Chains A and B, each alone.
Chain A
């Protein structure tokens, strides 16, 4: 007769084994050969030089911006897939396939739905399975060239010079350092960390992981002050170098889908989008909310032709003030202003709170103040600063 405790042994042993397995799996992989030491300028130059043109991989994105979550319950497909702000809440994952400069496919995998962007040469298809809609854009013939030059402005300066120049420019406001190597998607990577020198900004740090072998950016992580979790993180979880299956880039809308032809914008923003995504898959919505990428911000300013927004402060403390709007009505071809579009978003509408002097949307990285007289102030600074800026005029 076996003792009772012996019979219960498996019931104890199995969870113990599982726990041990999980612990072993979560331990950081044994230290690989460390990458050769590099200065921040050298790492930046690596990004500029990287030649990775064909790859496929999965990108995971998570946001902890303090926006309300969209609950996803039951057998319906993800709520609000049409909503821009939805991309800023909760986790998302996307599969990315890139073959050379002119063929790319991005699949944002939603719950029971998918959003696709397929580019084959000058043809760009956008497809959303949730409402079964497709949008077709024919890019201008020189688009791919343009996208290359945007990708690598090497005609102007070598990557090294460019990196040095960028560092010079950054140095006043930002401390750039190479932290300890990290591992992203199973690859060892340099960890370039940008820390604002200002105490006022909400941004704690921005970390970019750069592949130690080929210089491809593998992850971007933005941390907010006083928050444990990264406020925004996008990273490859798997990455395979080499050309993906060519049939992936052949797309025609399924029968029954409503197809919309989109006129080519004067400036091929679609190309730029793709080129950007090839690098870090930066989120368009993220950009709209005021990512710290200077060139993006500048181009956003140009959209508001004749209605120049004011900029106060400098570096990370910059506050952009947008006057009471009328610009969007004047330039219909440029589409609605990003800010307008965001503010009409039902999710963000829900997130606005009434504060002194207007309404505000507070996230852990960016604050937006909508004054009662229709002006908008955006900045990566505490709300009081925005209110002060609004009151100053």
Chain B
């Protein structure tokens, strides 16, 4: 991602910001002995997350996917149906398909990549910068810190697919005609309902990524090197997708956190099939519970030296 973010350059500034953040939280105005409220903790966490160049760059990169797709389709000749990613041939007829195609394309790699960076950075990033102990000196409590960190990653999980969807709908609107959208079933829905379905797909993808975030959070508690946790999270998402393709491991497939990642096609049918949404949510909840508990066990019993 962005290279300007190397710890060597960034450390003093980040540390300063961190200290500032902590002093704000502990300032006499807010009450000297009271623990900072969870809301303000989350607020400062989100502020820190979304003010980072890296986070902004990642969201911009995600938003660039539909733009690239739309421009390429616009300048090239008609795409024959059945080639390339699904829906690619529909874009020239209806701009809203840019968003669907882009969301589809970003599922296997781009989204997990960004989530891996954010989730892997949660605890290990603070440890790597040497700010973790300050956070723990502040009377926030380790459990609350863990929860706030996870909530921050979860907010990113929501915003990442949303960035793709909104950029896709916007660029599609600008470059192509927009009209009633043909669903997979062949039925037509009005553009406003199509937008609702697109938001549903974004919600589906956000839910899909929550399990991966929990894994990233746990890996992040294991190390002080954020890059290690990030890479491990991304690698796991790829490994899971590869395992999902091996017919010999069929018994394992429903347990892989990537198994339902492409299931959002059911939201494009008429009537909407909610089964995959429910299955996916249940599976991700299981991953959150398991890896959340692991992260808790690790983080609470960890000796924080940095």
User: A interface vs B, CB < 8 Å?
Assistant: 2, 4, 7-11, 13-15, 18, 58, 69, 71-77, 95, 107, 109, 111-114, 116, 125, 127, 129-132, 134, 245, 248, 251, 253-257
Contact = CB atoms under 8 A, between A and B. Distances in A.
B185 A111 contact: no
A75 B271 contact: no
A73 B262 CA distance: 10
Contact of B296 (A11, A58, A111, A116): A11
Nearest to B295: A11
B85 to A, nearest CB: 4
B54 interface: no
B90 A11 contact: no
A112 B90 CA distance: 13
B32 to A, nearest CB: 26
Contacts of B275: 58
B165 to A, nearest CB: 15
Contacts of B293: 10-11, 13-14
A98 to B, nearest CB: 15
B184 A129 contact: yes
Given A116-B186, A132-B89, 12 more contacts: A2-B300, A8-B301, A10-B297, A75-B107, A77-B82, A109-B273, A131-B82, A248-B270, A251-B186, A255-B180, A255-B182, A256-B90
Contacts of B105: 75
A339 to B, nearest CB: 26
B98 interface: no
A236 B280 CA distance: 21
A116 B185 CA distance: 6
A14 B186 contact: no
Given A130-B81, A251-B187, A18 B89 contact: no
Interface in B25-76: none
Contacts of B247: 69
A255 B293 CA distance: 51
A107 B86 contact: no
A131 B296 contact: no
Nearest to A251: B186
B245 interface: yes
Given A76-B86, A254-B188, A255-B182, A132 B108 contact: no
B112 to A, nearest CB: 13
A112 B296 contact: no
B84 interface: yes
A113 B90 contact: no
Point out which of B84, B265, B269, B294 has the most chain A C-beta atoms below 10 A from its C-beta.
B265
A56 to B, nearest CB: 9
A75 B110 CA distance: 12
A70 B305 CA distance: 52
A11 B290 CA distance: 6
B193 to A, nearest CB: 14
B194 interface: no
Interface of B: 81-82, 84-87, 89-90, 93, 104-105, 107-108, 179-180, 182, 184-188, 245, 247, 262, 265-266, 269-271, 273, 275, 286, 289-290, 292-294, 296-297, 300-301
A155 B262 CA distance: 49
A254 B290 contact: no
Contacts of A111: 262, 265
Contact of B86 (A9, A73, A77): A77
Contacts, number: 106
A73 B266 contact: no
B286 A256 contact: no
A113 B184 contact: yes
Point out which of B180, B186, B271, B301 has the most chain A C-beta atoms below 10 A from its C-beta.
B186
B93 A245 contact: no
Nearest to A78: B86
A109 B186 CA distance: 12
A73 B107 CA distance: 12
Contacts of B294: 11
Contacts of A131: 81-82
B86 A245 contact: no
B290 A15 contact: yes
B186 to A, nearest CB: 4
Nearest to A126: B186
Given A7-B296, A11-B293, A256 B82 contact: no
A255 B294 CA distance: 52
A129 B269 CA distance: 11
Contact of A113 (B86, B107, B271, B297): B86
Nearest to A245: B271
B297 A11 contact: yes
A132 B297 contact: no
Nearest to B300: A7
A186 B136 CA distance: 52
Given A74-B108, A114-B269, A129 B290 contact: no
Contacts of A245: 271
